[in-house]
Amino acid sequence: QHRDGVYVQSIVPGTPADKAGLHYGDRILSVDNKDAKDWTSAEVSKNVRGERGTSVHVQVERIGSQTPLEFDITRGGVPLPSIRNYFMLPNGVGYVGLTGGFQQTTADELNDSIAELKKRGMKSLILDLRGNPGGILEEAVAVVSKFIPAGQTVVSVKGSRQGDYRDMKAIGGSIENVPLVVMINGGSASASEIVAGAIQDYDRGLILGTDSFGKGLVQHVYRLPYSTGMTLTTARYYTPFGRSLQRDYSSGSIYDYYTHGEDSPDTADLDVKPKPVGSPVTTANGRVLYGGRGIEPDVVVPAQKFDALRGRLNEAAFYFTRQLVAGKVSGFESMKADKQSFKTALQPGEFAVSDKLFDAFKSFAAADPKDGLTAENINSQADYAKTRLRQEIATATDSQEAGVQALLETDPQVLKALEVIPQASGLVARVSDPFK
């Protein structure tokens, strides 16, 4: 969604959009002959979706074409993996972005990602759970099982009835004894918190970021007449050492509960935290941990703050890149890219933004009054602008995954995770005996 309509931001290989021939930067003009120029991205998505095998007609505007392009797209499935990004960072540190929820394939995806990163020389691991809303409990247990011995409790499920209690334990398999940093934020919920909580209780790795969501309830929805329903809480999740994952929202409203997440103010910035539930526990490494507040990170790193200027830079980076990959930026015609290569990982220094390219971007952005940008305010955010420009170029030329990598490589939370890897190294030896 951009200021003058909805554009194709990236294409997933092998999907109906790819097979039909849609490209990065295509502006959606109509869907099934309905004018879509003023639609939101949600409206476009609603009208494009439909029953598998049926067809939808889409008209787009593409730079370089004198007339709109017409596409008949046969609807089909679009893969939504749990892990969209994995790549190497400096000093043998691997990064895995487990941000797409816990699905039936999550543990297998993690196994494959780690195996590939080890081939590339991985010695330490950053596991990113930021924004992961949770999912299948058994997959969370399988993920934790990669890092702690079989038989150790991963999560306890305590029901509302007397004696309704069960421990879910780590399953057998190869254990990864690499130093581990797990990243969380306010959008990390449920199964994500189970993973982070177990890693933290056993001193298996460092937890970094901001407080997690605090969703530790097992709930069932019962349908009622008149298109209504009732959600009934039947159990709660607890970490291996007995900490409740559920945040206390009793002093707030239902709105507070459903709006607390990755886009809300970081809980680390709030003056008042919910009271802990139960007694605090102390890990073998001396960390004092509390329940009833989600998972609190060992290393607090607030998320980047975004303002109106950065929003305008984001818009300018997209429109400039759209011209760039169409071969329309003077002096940079060689950067023309007819379609994305679908390469998912960047090489060190790839798509670095040169001074000459940045000057061209500044001239382009400052010339468009809609952006309200000048050379001066762009220079005041030069590092951010260069990162966003590199992300956009990597996306347009390669893939969304490559673009995300470009952004993550300068993410302050990721950079701090790299910095604390030596601390995580000191925790690995305790995995065989948490009370050693």
Q: 215-260 pLDDT, tens per residue?
A: 999 888 899 999 899 988 889 999 999 999 998 776 665 556 555 5
Model pLDDT, residue 269: 44
User: How do residues 10-48 score in pLDDT, each as one tens digit?
Assistant: 999 999 999 999 999 999 999 999 999 999 999 999 999
Tell me what pLDDT residue 143 has.
Answer: 98
In angstroms, rounded to a whole number, what is the distance separating the alpha carbons of residues 143 and 111? 9
pLDDT tops 50 at residue 59: yes
- The mean of the pLDDT values for the chain is 91
Whether the pLDDT of residue 265 is over 80: the answer is: no
pLDDT tens by residue, 83-107: 999 999 999 999 999 999 999 999 9
What CA–CA distance (Å, rounded) separates 82 from 84? 6
Active site residue 307: no
| 8 A C-beta contact, residue 95 and residue 65 | no
Q: Which of 208, 198, 215 is nearest to 261 (CA)?
A: 215
- For the chain, give the percent of residues with pLDDT over 70: 92
CB 179 within 8 A of CB 428: yes
Q: What pLDDT is attached to residue 436?
A: 47
pLDDT bin (cut points 50, 70, 90) of residue 431 is low
**Radius of gyration in angstroms for the set of CA atoms belonging to the chain, rounded to a whole number:** 24
Q: Choosing from 26, 128, 201, 211, which is the catalytic residue?
A: 201
CATH topology of domain 83-304: 2-enoyl-CoA Hydratase; Chain A, domain 1 (3.90.226)
The pLDDT-based confidence of 305 (bands split at 50, 70, 90) is: confident
436 is catalytic: no
The pLDDT of residue 189 is: 96
pTM of this structure:
0.91
Per-residue CA distances from 413 to 182, 236, 282, 367, 395 (Å): 11, 30, 26, 34, 22
Residue 3 binned pLDDT confidence (cut-offs 50, 70, 90): confident
Task: Kindly report the length of the chain.
Answer: 436
| 146 has catalytic annotation | no
**Predicted confidence band at 268 (pLDDT cuts at 50, 70, 90)?**
very low
User: Of 215, 362, 386, 398, which residue is the catalytic one?
Assistant: 215
- Predicted confidence at residue 249, as pLDDT, reads 72
Q: Degrees (nearest 5) of the Cα angle 347, 348, 351? A: 75
Q: Is the pLDDT of residue 434 over 70?
A: no
Give the mean model confidence (pLDDT) for residues 407-436. Answer: 83
Q: What's the pLDDT score for residue 142?
A: 97
How much is the pLDDT for 188?
97
Question: Per the residue annotation, which of 10, 113, 124, 190 is the catalytic one?
Answer: 190
> Per-residue pLDDT averaged across 360-387, rounded?
93
Instruction: State the architecture of 16-74 in CATH terms.
Output: Roll (2.30)
Q: Where in the chain is the domain with CATH 3.90.226.10?
A: 83-304
pLDDT band, residue 429 (cuts 50/70/90): low
Per-residue pLDDT band at 432 (split at 50, 70, 90): very low
What are the pLDDT digits (tens) for 148-180? 999 999 999 998 777 788 999 999 777 889 999
Residue 162 identity: Q
User: Phi and psi (nearest 5°) for 393?
Assistant: -65, -40
Delimiting residues of CATH 2.30.42.10 domain(s) in the chain: 16-74
The more confident residue out of 418 and 370 is 418
